[in-house]
Amino acid sequence: MSEETFDVIIVGAGVLGVATAYYMQKNNPNKKILLLERNLAAGQANTAMSAAAVRNMFASSTNQVLTDTSIKYFEHVQNELGHELLFEKTGYLWLLSKSQFEHESVQVWMQRMEKSGISYKVYNKEELKEMIPSLDVDFHDDEEAALMNLNEISYGLFGKDCGVLDPTRLVEYYFDAFKVISHVKPKFGCNVEKLLLEADPKLDLPNEPYVWQKKHITGVITNKGTFRAGTVVLATGAWANELLDPLGIDSKTKAKKRQMFVIHGEDNPKLIEFLNTKGFNEMGCIPFTILPSAGVYFRPQLQEKGFWIGCGDKIGRKYEYIQTDETMIPESSYYENSMYPVLSKYVSAFEGARPVNSWAGGYCYSPDSIPFVYEESGVIVVNGASGSGIMKADALGRIADALYRREKEAELFGGKKVSTTMLSIKDRDVEIESVVI
Amino acid sequence: MSEETFDVIIVGAGVLGVATAYYMQKNNPNKKILLLERNLAAGQANTAMSAAAVRNMFASSTNQVLTDTSIKYFEHVQNELGHELLFEKTGYLWLLSKSQFEHESVQVWMQRMEKSGISYKVYNKEELKEMIPSLDVDFHDDEEAALMNLNEISYGLFGKDCGVLDPTRLVEYYFDAFKVISHVKPKFGCNVEKLLLEADPKLDLPNEPYVWQKKHITGVITNKGTFRAGTVVLATGAWANELLDPLGIDSKTKAKKRQMFVIHGEDNPKLIEFLNTKGFNEMGCIPFTILPSAGVYFRPQLQEKGFWIGCGDKIGRKYEYIQTDETMIPESSYYENSMYPVLSKYVSAFEGARPVNSWAGGYCYSPDSIPFVYEESGVIVVNGASGSGIMKADALGRIADALYRREKEAELFGGKKVSTTMLSIKDRDVEIESVVI
């Protein structure tokens, strides 16, 4: 087995890994940075499995700044640098019952968006009915809807600067930009089995390190050999525990399966009409929409004349502390029993709709729904994005790089500066996020 | 298989389970409360494996009130109710280097103890050397000590109201008090395999509950049948994840192995002399002592003329998210390589000391080193005591009972009232604890 040495090893070429790799190489041009990925290409694991929707409509000022600057950078990449990310400002539409809308958490959310200058608009029930004729807003005398605990729709909270993009193109943008300036060829099909925790200094005694020895992470053991580096970056999302637990480092994150089902509307004029709902955005399509019950949401797909349907199910969906292949298998019964009944009740155009495709991946929760970026014993961890890693990727990559350079502040796109330790565990300085899907 | 129904099922007859059972039955005299334990007696798992030291010397006002009231209750039980708990006020002695002592966290700790009226005393190096002749405080020109990163000892922080007790006797006290007033015979050898999460109302459809159904925990599936209850209490310590993860409830806790090694001093006059160090307490023995390096500590055992040696090792000791039997096996090499070198460097009387007994158990970490007591979907969780469940047991039992009774406040021993939700996840209102071993 070979044993090579680098300045930095980045584990994981998902969106957080490639963004971090790019900013680290850009700002440390002489460093040898090795990017490792166990799949055969970048961005093919959980990044590719997500809904890839992007929004700046968060309740915490922390997530607001991470997403707002990242989204503006994505626009810059697409419009000024000329890299097509298929970023479309479809907008985000939260449909809410009266009691949801009036809940303190939603009121605080709106106040904080106003304070931060994040654009949003409130629609009332009548406006929504007029704009989206096939939306059922009140379920009068519908016993089934009552049995299903479906909330009526009284308000819509709409953010015009939100939208959807193609996660593969975004990953490609960062990956290509990294490759141009990198000195080391990234390794694919390279699975990190273990992080190397070693005593400093090594005494060459059996079973080192002992409790009284200084110790830090000095590299990785992979199926392609052992690689050493001064700094190891973990951008492994839901897989972080598998590498950190054996070292006794608590990532504070854990994962759940999430699933996406694709509905096509070609043979369904009602669905096409619903997809082409006007008045919300320049594309003339229904926005990325979150229904007010059971966590069901959908993403419009103009190109494929259809929708991606997802669900942020909470209690009842098991946590998978260590992810397995089972995580990647979507369950058709889940669509049929849990998602479809909700979807078709709110939007009659979905009646009879059956998925033509589906996939599943791991969603990595942090305790406060704010990501982590921190250094611990020689490893920089970038994870816990809580379902919104893509929309925060640019900011997180810049913060991870600033942390590596031991800067006190990271400069985000547009010039805004944030503390490099604000997303750490020890010196965490964030607002708890309440608006997660 | 039988299927019985109760008002409350308490899972786990460790110290938190029996204290909760007692207060719940006492304050809800008509309720049928079933206590379940997978071992064949109460308090035989991790409760019995702990160092069973008790201290009110915490940095957070939260842990201060939980321990101070619990310890006073234990004194009351022993001195006024006449139940011998072998509670002895040996005191706690933290040995600290100059830089440790001057660190902001220790200064804040002392300030907060003063504010809360918690008694402590500072000894300087000269006083310590005089009181404990066999203590090595500065390692002059000792290359080995330098290689081992051993801190010199400049200060001792001593708390006279702290001490040690017999965990089995404490568990017996609560368990017996519960049995006297309980209507239901506790079940031992009863392993809870799964919590029952059911839809409300049940529709008798396949694979219920669906995402749009209301759902809550209605009972437990065990090796002795299914039992149902309006409320299930989880007092399973390090095992909580095994039951909560499948339901998608994040306990926020995780566990590590901890080990205890027993040293006897019968044939070692120096060790007996060290054990019988005068001046700290009424017993005339060395206090429960924490060394300033590597997390090594010891508990004096006057009756057995010896010591229990433990170590709060941090990085390098793996987290075991799901505990296994392996957790219960102590490692003699760990004593020899990691603990003994530190111990014998600081206290020469330990030179040559070999363990005559040892055991291991699981230590359940919470993110802020403060316990959890909360209700979620029909289950009340009492855990995450972070190595100090025994010394907080009385307060936690009272808070869990108050939560069950939907009281806003819980009255702790001595009359002090605290919010029943202060230890919850959603409305957590605690100070982060910095002084954990």
Q: How many helices (H) and strands (E) does chain A have?
A: 13, 21
Percent of chain B with pLDDT over 70: 100
User: Measured over all CA atoms, what is the biggest interatomic distance in chain A, rounded to whole angstroms?
Assistant: 77
Q: CB of B255 within 8 A of CB of B383? A: no
**Could you tell me the pLDDT band of residue B2, with boundaries at 50, 70 and 90?**
low
H-run or E-run covering B343: helix B340-346
Q: Is the ipTM of this complex over 0.90?
A: yes
| H/E segment holding residue A232 | strand A225-234
Name the percent of chain B in helix, strand, coil, to the closest 5: 30, 25, 45
What pLDDT was estimated at residue A247?
96
Q: Rg (Cα) of chain B, in Å, rounded?
A: 22
Residue B254 and residue A250: Cβ atoms within 8 Å? Answer: yes
**Residue B104 reports pLDDT greater than 90:** yes
The residue among A211, A245, A326, A337 with the most chain B CBs within 10 A of its CB, best to mutate, is A211
Could A256 and B247 be called an inter-chain contact, meaning their C-beta atoms sit closer than 8 Å?
no
Write the DSSP string, B188-234: ES--EEEEEEEESS----TTPPPTTS-EEEEEEEETTEEEEEEEEEE
User: Is residue A126 within 8 Å of A198, Cβ to Cβ?
Assistant: no
Distance CA A104, CA B229 (A): 33
Q: How far is CA A316 from CA A103, B133, B232, in A?
A: 24, 60, 16
Partner-chain contact A212 B341, CB within 8 Å: yes
B341 to A249: CB separation less than 8 angstroms, yes or no: no
Inter-chain contact A207–B337, Cβ cutoff 8 Å? yes
Q: What is the pLDDT along chain A (437 residues), one digit of tens a residue?
A: 457 899 999 999 999 999 999 999 999 999 999 999 999 999 999 999 999 999 999 999 999 999 999 999 999 999 999 999 999 999 999 999 999 999 999 999 999 999 999 999 999 999 999 999 999 999 989 999 999 999 999 999 999 999 999 999 999 999 999 999 999 999 999 999 999 999 999 999 998 999 999 999 999 999 999 999 999 999 998 889 999 999 999 999 999 999 999 999 999 999 999 999 999 999 999 999 999 999 999 999 999 999 999 999 999 999 987 778 888 899 999 999 999 999 999 999 999 999 999 999 999 999 899 999 999 999 999 999 888 999 999 999 999 999 999 999 999 999 999 999 999 999 999 998 999 98
| In chain A, where the domains are located | 3-52+168-252+368-419, 92-159+254-365
Would you say the pTM of this structure is higher than 0.90?
yes
Say if the Cβ atoms of A313 and B211 lie within 8 Å.
yes
Chain A residues in contact with B376 by the CB 8 A cut-off are 315
Q: How far is B279 from chain A (nearest CA, A)?
A: 30
Res B1: pLDDT: 47
B13-36 burial, b for 16+ CB within 10 Å, e for fewer?
Answer: bbbbbbbbbbbbbbeeeebbbbbb
Fold of domain A3-52+168-252+368-419: FAD/NAD(P)-binding domain (3.50.50)
Provide, as residue numbers in chain B, all residues whose Cβ is less than 8 Å from the Cβ of A149. Answer: 212-214
Query: In CATH, which superfamily holds the domain spanning B92-159+254-365?
Result: D-Amino Acid Oxidase, subunit A, domain 2 (3.30.9.10)
Residue B4's pLDDT is what? Answer: 86
Torsion angle defined by CA atoms of residues A80, A86, A91 and A96, in that order, rounded to the nearest 10 degrees: -150
Q: For the CA atoms of chain A, what is the radius of gyration?
A: 22
Report the residue of chain A nearest B312, measured CA to CA. A211
CA of A382 to nearest chain B CA: how many angstroms apart?
A: 18
Average pLDDT of chain B to the nearest whole number: 96
CB contact under 8 A, A207 and B321: no
Q: Which residue of B has its CA nearest to A434?
A: B426
